[in-house]
Structure 1
Amino acid sequence: MLTGLTIVFIGGDARQVEVIHKCIEMDATVRVVGFESLTPPLTGISHESLTPELLRAADCIVLPVVGCNDQGEVPAPFSSASIQLKKETLAEIREGTPVFTGIAKGYLKRMASEYSFRLIELLERDEVAIYNSIPTAEGAVMMAIQNTKITLHGSNCIVLGIGRTGFTLAKTLQGLGANVQVGLRKEADRARAVQMGWKPFVTTDLSVYHSGIDLIFNTIPTMIITAQIISRLSREAVIIDLASAPGGTDFRFAEKRGIKAILAPGLPGIVAPKTAGIIMANTIIQSLLEECQLRGDE
């Protein structure tokens, strides 16, 4: 149980709501900023304003999956007020306090270094990213079905990158009967791809392997689907880019050529916020329980 721990939530979407519910179930003291417009309203918590005193009292702080931008602005869809993490407010976080987010950008990383709070990026942890790849793959398949005129069964698909998301997506497409090619950045991944029954190629050779492709799914967050590649695609082809914004596709040229290209980061929070929230909650709670155990052993 998390009895006696004060956890402060600052902004966030439906995923955060699931984490809040889990923390309440574990008997934590939960204080939230940016959820006053949520329907139905949260119970068992206290609504707060973002103040230095609030952060000073926190044993743990949970930020949205996207953290904040480089101006310190936090996304808060359940609030009519803007929320900003100012330097003077962050300075009040006690040294060593865990601050959870999904992915931290430069501003948050600099603040963590300057004020010595412990920044934990959940999406960098395998136990979160691998589970998260499941709703991502399901969301990508949903978008593919919605934006094509063909069945995925028998379609020709390319998945660029076979990291945690790409691997699950390629396996899902294969299970639906698609012909799957995978673009690899490391030759060491070729054996795994062959073992899974996919056709591997090195991503630098994409211009050779794109012929006859119906769908390209990208997970690589650097420009890889260039104008040169897009110029040779069929006008019926669809690109679904799952990489973090701005993605790895030349969207301007795709639009100019009339090819549908969709930037779709953060699919777990869109297609399965409950599942995605539970995944995050389990990791956060396990981390806090381990920390409590360590303190108890000292």
Structure 2
Amino acid sequence: MLTDMQIAILGGDARQLEIIRKLTELDARLYLIGFEQLDPLVLGTSKEKIKELDFSKMDALILPVPGTSLEGELETIFSNEKVILTEQMLQQTPSHCTIYSGISNSYLNQISNNANRKLIQLFERDDVAIYNSIPTVEGTIMMAIQNTDITIHQSKVAVLGLGRVGMTVARVFSLLGAQVKVGARKSEHLARVTEMGLKPFHLENLHDEIKDIDICINTIPHPILNAGVIAKMPLDALIIDLASKPGGTDFRYAERRGTKALLAPGLPGIVAPKTAGRILANVLSQLLGDDFDKGKGKEK
């Protein structure tokens, strides 16, 4: 139980609703920032304006999955209010206060470090990333069906990257009957692709391997699909970029060439927000409970 723990939830999307439900069940006291349009109000919560929140009482801050923008702005789909998190706000929190975010960036890292507050990126955890790969691949299948005029079965699919998302995407598209090949750099990843019964190729050979594909699914958050690579693709190929913003695709060139390229980060929150929210809620409740049990939940 999280009785007497005071937590601020600062913006977010539909995934945050599952987090709110879970934490109120555990008897935490929640302060909701950027949820003016949320109705009815969940028992044990209160709506606040960020400038009126008493940060000195907060045991934890829960940010949206994308964290902040490079200007400190937080995503708030349940409010028209512009919510900005600053270093000064973090400095007002108790020293034990922990910040939870899905991912981070240079701004959030800097203000957390300057305020000497612990920042936990949930998507760096293997369990969260692997669980989230399930709704991610379902959303990818949906996008592939909606944006092509061929079946996935017998289509030629290239998956770039064999991380936690790439592995699930490659496996599921193969199970649907696609001819899947996977591009990677690490020898152990290429070996794993072979073990999975798929065709491996080194990313150094991407220009050659991309010439006959129907769908290219990128999971690498670096500029991998540049103009030179896209120019080698069939004109009617579909690019689905699952990497975090800004993705790994030259979208300007793809549009100019007439190749459809879709940036699709955060698919779990779009196609299955309840499931994605439950994944985050379960992990957060465990982490918050561990901190509380260790006596970090309140200042001594």
Classify the TM-score, shorter chain: over 0.9
Normalising by structure 2, we get a TM-score of 0.95
What's the counterpart of residue 219 of structure 1? 219
The yes-or-no answer on 1:75 pairing with 2:75 is yes
Please state whether the residue corresponding to 1:30 is helix, strand or coil: strand
- Separation in structure 2 between the aligned mates of residue 22 and residue 173 of structure 1, nearest angstrom: 33
What's the counterpart of residue 88 of structure 2? 88
- Separation in structure 1 between the aligned mates of residue 97 and residue 52 of structure 2, nearest angstrom: 14
Superposed displacement of residue 291, structure 1: 1.8
Mapped contact 2:68–2:75 kept (Cα < 8 A): yes
Normalising by structure 1, we get a TM-score of 0.96
- Separation in structure 2 between the aligned mates of residue 224 and residue 136 of structure 1, nearest angstrom: 20
- Separation in structure 1 between the aligned mates of residue 240 and residue 71 of structure 2, nearest angstrom: 29
Moved more, 226-235 or 216-225: 226-235
Moved more, 89-98 or 268-277: 89-98
Gaps of 5+ in 2: none
- Separation in structure 2 between the aligned mates of residue 143 and residue 70 of structure 1, nearest angstrom: 29
Identity rate of aligned residues, in percent?
Answer: 47
What's the counterpart of residue 202 of structure 1? 202
Superposed displacement of residue 52, structure 1: 6.9
- Separation in structure 1 between the aligned mates of residue 53 and residue 166 of structure 2, nearest angstrom: 43
- Separation in structure 2 between the aligned mates of residue 128 and residue 257 of structure 1, nearest angstrom: 37
- Separation in structure 2 between the aligned mates of residue 17 and residue 185 of structure 1, nearest angstrom: 39
Query: What pairs with 1:243-262 in structure 2 (closer than 5 Å)?
Result: 243-262=243-262
Mapped contact 1:9–1:63 kept (Cα < 8 A): yes
Moved more, 41-50 or 128-137: 41-50
Query: What pairs with 1:52-71 in structure 2 (closer than 5 Å)?
Result: 54-71=54-71
Please state whether the residue corresponding to 2:167 is helix, strand or coil: helix
Superposed displacement of residue 250, structure 1: 1.3
Please state whether the residue corresponding to 1:233 is helix, strand or coil: coil
What's the counterpart of residue 149 of structure 1? 149
What's the counterpart of residue 15 of structure 2? 15
The C-alpha deviation readout for 1:139-161, integer Å capped at 9, x for no partner, is 11110000000000110000000
- Separation in structure 2 between the aligned mates of residue 222 and residue 291 of structure 1, nearest angstrom: 35
- Separation in structure 2 between the aligned mates of residue 291 and residue 276 of structure 1, nearest angstrom: 23
- Separation in structure 2 between the aligned mates of residue 269 and residue 216 of structure 1, nearest angstrom: 22
The C-alpha deviation readout for 1:185-208, integer Å capped at 9, x for no partner, is 211211111110110001111111
Mapped contact 1:35–1:78 kept (Cα < 8 A): yes
- Separation in structure 1 between the aligned mates of residue 122 and residue 272 of structure 2, nearest angstrom: 17
The yes-or-no answer on 1:27 pairing with 2:27 is yes
The C-alpha deviation readout for 1:202-239, integer Å capped at 9, x for no partner, is 11111111122000000001111121221121122100
- Separation in structure 2 between the aligned mates of residue 282 and residue 22 of structure 1, nearest angstrom: 8
* 4+ residue runs over 4 A deviation: none
What's the counterpart of residue 234 of structure 1? 234
Moved more, 137-146 or 202-211: 202-211
Superposed displacement of residue 175, structure 1: 1.0
The yes-or-no answer on 1:191 pairing with 2:191 is yes
- Supply the RMSD in Å over aligned alpha carbons: 1.5
- Separation in structure 1 between the aligned mates of residue 177 and residue 275 of structure 2, nearest angstrom: 26
What's the counterpart of residue 37 of structure 1? 37
The yes-or-no answer on 1:292 pairing with 2:292 is yes
The C-alpha deviation readout for 1:30-76, integer Å capped at 9, x for no partner, is 11111011245444311112147521111111010111112111111
Q: How many aligned residue pairs are there?
A: 297
What is the one-letter code of the residue matched to 2:116? S
- Separation in structure 2 between the aligned mates of residue 293 and residue 96 of structure 1, nearest angstrom: 13
What is the one-letter code of the residue matched to 1:75? E
Please state whether the residue corresponding to 1:295 is helix, strand or coil: coil
Query: What pairs with 1:91-110 in structure 2 (closer than 5 Å)?
Result: 91-110=91-110
Superposed displacement of residue 96, structure 1: 2.8
- Separation in structure 2 between the aligned mates of residue 291 and residue 30 of structure 1, nearest angstrom: 17
Superposed displacement of residue 79, structure 1: 0.8
- Separation in structure 2 between the aligned mates of residue 237 and residue 43 of structure 1, nearest angstrom: 50
The C-alpha deviation readout for 1:130-177, integer Å capped at 9, x for no partner, is 101111111111100000000001100000001000000001101101
Superposed displacement of residue 101, structure 1: 0.4
The yes-or-no answer on 1:265 pairing with 2:260 is no
- Separation in structure 2 between the aligned mates of residue 158 and residue 40 of structure 1, nearest angstrom: 46
Please state whether the residue corresponding to 2:256 is helix, strand or coil: helix
- Separation in structure 2 between the aligned mates of residue 227 and residue 104 of structure 1, nearest angstrom: 28
- Separation in structure 1 between the aligned mates of residue 44 and residue 293 of structure 2, nearest angstrom: 25
Mapped contact 2:28–2:44 kept (Cα < 8 A): no
Mapped contact 1:93–1:115 kept (Cα < 8 A): no
